[in-house]
Amino acid sequence: MSLRLKILSGFLILTTMLFVAGGMSIYELASVGTSVQKLLDDNYKSINAAKMMIEALEREDSGVLLILSGKWEEGRSAVTAGDSLFQKGFDIARYNVTIPGEHNYVNAIEKKYKSYKNLWAGPIADTKNEDNLNWYFQEIRNAFHEVKSSVGELTALNDRAMYQTASMLKNKAHRAIMPGIIAILSAFVFTAVFNFFIHYYVVSPIIEITRGIRLFTAIRKPFDVKIETKDELFHLMSSVQELLAQSQNSRECQNEILAGDETKK
């Protein structure tokens, strides 16, 4: 392999390592962004739906109290608006079941809300339940708290899921930077190894050739340098060896001519 290809291959390997590491990091980060965003959006929808249902229950509870106090028109308007808002929030939660077991929480809310609604859906005014606070606290209030508790459990489930999503984000981010860290460490190791080979196969031979030339010109020491590789440095060494050999032969011929002239004299 030529010297040029050796050096070029070293830089190509280093570039490939960094390119692969960068590609893996970009892929992991893109995957994290897509998956985590979807999970957070789903959890946020359910949490927002739960807040909507809690608000609706509070309106309905206030409406029931208004009816019991004799303000049945205002109370009926409040429970109707609350029921509409609850159904809206419940539909969002029902069609956004993304966590294992979440449908059980949704079914529990639906069942308990039906029991709660049946208590105030019928007429209250002009019945035995009008102004009956004992009935409110013994039945209505208990049913209200049961529904509210079930909605709170759904919220807690999605809160835990969001926390797990954040933990997963941390782990994925760690995995995303690992290829970069490995690539940096590998680049340091490869650079050290590459530097060793450059010194061994390029710098050292040049130093040996230079030393051989200086010794030849200074003390006429025969040029004896060995190059292990068959590359440009080997050809350079061969050319220098031939040049010095020719120079030595020319000098010897000149010495013989001078010696012959002195003999004739």
Q: Which residue has the higher pLDDT, 51 or 40?
A: 51
- The contacts of residue 84 (CB under 8 Å, 6+ apart) are 56
pLDDT of residue 162: 79
Work out the pLDDT band at 81, boundaries 50, 70, 90.
Answer: very high
pLDDT of residue 245: 75
Q: Which residue has the higher pLDDT, 215 or 176?
A: 215
What are the residue ranges spanned by the domains of the chain? 3-189, 200-264
Hunting for tokens 């999605």 — which residue is that? 158
**Under the phi-then-psi rule, with left for phi > 0, alpha for psi from -120 to 50, and beta for the rest, what region is 131?**
left
Where b means 16+ CB within 10 Å and e means fewer, 117-156 reads: bebbeeebeeeebeeeeebbeebbeebbebbbebbeebbe
pLDDT of residue 258: 60
pLDDT > 70 fraction of the chain, expressed in percent and rounded: 82
Work out the pLDDT band at 256, boundaries 50, 70, 90.
Answer: low
Q: Tell me the CATH architecture of domain 3-189.
A: Up-down Bundle (1.20)
The torsion angles phi and psi of 81, rounded to 5 degrees, stand at -65, -40
Residue 31 has pLDDT above 70, yes or no: no
pLDDT of residue 128: 65
Task: Tell me the mean pLDDT in the region 98-126.
Answer: 85
